Amino acid sequence: MAKNKQNDEKLGLKKKLILSFCGMVIGFINGFFGGGGGMICVPLLEKMLHLDNKYSHATAIAVILPISFVSAIIYTLGGHIETVPFLTVGIGVLLGGVAGSFLLKFLPSKTIRIIFVFVMLAGGIRLLF
């Protein structure tokens, strides 16, 4: 924990402004597409803050959670949520999230990075077709 405080104190104003702007972009992407902000947030945390892979993923999830919650409320109030898919997919997401966060503690960073790369590649290829 002390190491994180030292890193926070070393961040200059310029870097904080850049991170804030990137946060707005991540929030926009997550709100606009209903997800996907983590795909930008993880590399950002790794490259700009030099966080370990595991910390980047965990931090990205903590950052994305409130954004997703607010977006879900807005979509619900707008009448854009279907109940059956929400409940069925939601249960799967909940179970998968618990399993993923549990595995994150035990998998080596290199393995996590490889899985992340393949998920991003698969998503990109899927979008092309």
SS3 content of the chain, % helix, strand, coil (to 5): 85, 0, 15
Condensed to tens digits (0 to 9), the pLDDT of residues 58-101 reads 899 888 888 888 888 988 999 999 999 999 999 999 999 899 98
Per-residue confidence (pLDDT) for residue 2, from 0 to 100: 45
Q: Would you give the distance in Å from CA 88 to the centre of its chain?
A: 22
Task: Determine contact, residues 81/72, Cβ cutoff 8 Å.
Answer: yes
Range of the domain at 60: 2-128
Q: How many domains are there within the chain?
A: 1
